[in-house]
């Protein structure tokens, strides 16, 4: 009996030790970091998602806007509005590795997982520029009216870019560096999200408190999802007529998380059931959402309260609110390989 108890005790200790190492499924050389652009400052804050605190603050240039990270966790890309530039940063130190001059004012950029291609929308230049990330060289400039956001859905073959001037989203073939699809969305597209199989497009529209769902192969909107009504008399003009902003599909494709900029809440849309969760209160003017590398947390930038909400995906509860710089907007999470 004593031997049996001893064996159970040893087993329990081993299981407890294993559980303690399973909180983050990456080796000890990698850290789960969140990178936040402070759009009215000149810096990027780095949040350690294990410690839930800011661990670094990088000076990158006035008005950083977009941010993107390939799968390797060694480099971060950001667009700097004041300089009309794209910068490649060392993901550990924040040191600027390369700077690329662009055709005009850049917005949200995107990068392929393999780190080969970047797409950068030039809002005041009516174009999107396709960049060789390895060479930091512009490969192609494609015309598009008032592009605002680029997105990569997790493949190395395609990019998406919104046209606020044509009320559509364009899909780019990275083999030909040409458009392969133009999807009308029934209004001015704000942020977008795309399912992992690249068949479903989710779009926030100007003036609409919710989002629309488009069938990419069919090139048409198939459904509208409306959030609970805003208080009567809510004025969207100070928000540039934007009621809904950041949209993000979970890595498994089962949920869409969406930020209600106007109400200060996040909603979760279940893809299988088509149902919307109760509201998840966050900070003021939630702008963008990114998932931690292990999908445990949804990270929300709150432009109006200068902080980031860290929300547990399973419980839908905010577990931390972390102060950052001035007017945080775009953010991205990555498992960063630490230098030894």
Could you read off the pLDDT of 247-300 as tens digits, one per residue? 999 999 999 999 999 999 999 999 999 999 999 999 999 999 999 999 999 999
Predicted local distance difference test score (pLDDT) of residue 72? 86
Predicted local distance difference test score (pLDDT) of residue 15? 36
CB-side exposure of 81: number of CA atoms within 13 Å?
Answer: 17
CB-side exposure of 272: number of CA atoms within 13 Å?
Answer: 3
CB-side exposure of 115: number of CA atoms within 13 Å?
Answer: 12
Cβ–Cβ < 8 Å for 291, 285: no
- Please state whether 167 falls in left (phi above 0), alpha (psi between -120 and 50) or beta: left
Predicted local distance difference test score (pLDDT) of residue 22? 35
Average pLDDT, rounded, for the chain = 92
Predicted local distance difference test score (pLDDT) of residue 237? 87
Cβ–Cβ < 8 Å for 146, 163: yes
Q: What are phi and psi of 147, to 5 degrees?
A: -70, 145
Q: Nearest 10 degrees: CA dihedral of 282, 253, 147, 129?
A: 120
Cβ–Cβ < 8 Å for 200, 185: no
Predicted local distance difference test score (pLDDT) of residue 29? 79
Instruction: Tell me the whole-structure pTM to 2 decimals.
Output: 0.90
Predicted local distance difference test score (pLDDT) of residue 340? 56
Q: Residue 311: CB partners within 8 Å, gap ≥ 6? A: 266, 280, 282, 297, 298, 299, 300, 317, 318, 319
Predicted local distance difference test score (pLDDT) of residue 21? 34
Cβ–Cβ < 8 Å for 76, 67: yes
Predicted local distance difference test score (pLDDT) of residue 240? 84
Predicted local distance difference test score (pLDDT) of residue 26? 41
All residue ranges of the chain with pLDDT < 70 are 1-28, 340
Q: How far is CA 305 from the centre of its chain?
A: 19
């Amino acid at each position: 009996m004593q031997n049996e108890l001893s064996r159970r005790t040893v087993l329990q200790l081993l299981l407890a030790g294993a559980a303690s190492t399973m909180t983050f499924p990456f080796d000890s050389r990698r850290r789960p970091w969140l990178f936040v652009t402070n759009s009215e400052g000149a810096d990027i804050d780095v949040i350690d998602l294990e410690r839930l605190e800011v661990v670094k603050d990088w000076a990158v240039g006035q008005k950083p806007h977009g941010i993107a990270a390939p799968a390797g966790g060694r480099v971060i890309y950001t667009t700097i509005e004041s300089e009309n530039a794209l910068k490649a940063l060392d993901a550990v130190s924040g040191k600027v590795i390369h700077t690329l001059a662009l055709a005009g004012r850049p917005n949200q950029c995107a990068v392929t997982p393999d780190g080969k291609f970047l797409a950068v929308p030039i809002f005041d230049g009516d174009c999107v520029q396709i960049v060789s990330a390895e060479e930091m060289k512009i490969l192609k400039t494609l015309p598009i009216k008032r592009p605002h956001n680029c997105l990569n859905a997790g493949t190395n073959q395609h990019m998406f870019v919104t046209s606020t001037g044509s009320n559509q989203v364009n899909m780019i073939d990275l083999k030909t560096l040409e458009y392969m699809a133009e999807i009308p969305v029934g209004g001015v597209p704000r942020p977008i999200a795309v399912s992992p199989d690249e068949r479903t497009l989710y779009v926030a529209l100007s003036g609409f408190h919710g989002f629309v769902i488009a069938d990419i192969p069919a090139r048409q909107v198939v459904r509208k999802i409306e959030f609970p009504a805003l208080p009567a008399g809510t004025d969207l003009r100070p928000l540039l007529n934007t009621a809904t902003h950041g949209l993000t599909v979970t890595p498994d494709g089962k949920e869409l998380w969406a930020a209600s900029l106007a109400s200060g809440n996040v909603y979760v849309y279940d893809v299988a059931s088509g149902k919307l969760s109760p509201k998840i209160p966050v900070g003021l003017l939630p702008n963008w959402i990114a998932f931690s590398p292990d999908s445990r947390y949804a990270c929300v930038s709150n432009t109006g309260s200068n902080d980031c909400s860290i929300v547990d995906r399973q419980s839908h509860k905010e577990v931390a609110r972390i102060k950052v710089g001035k007017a945080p907007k775009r953010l991205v999470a990555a498992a960063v390989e630490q230098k030894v």
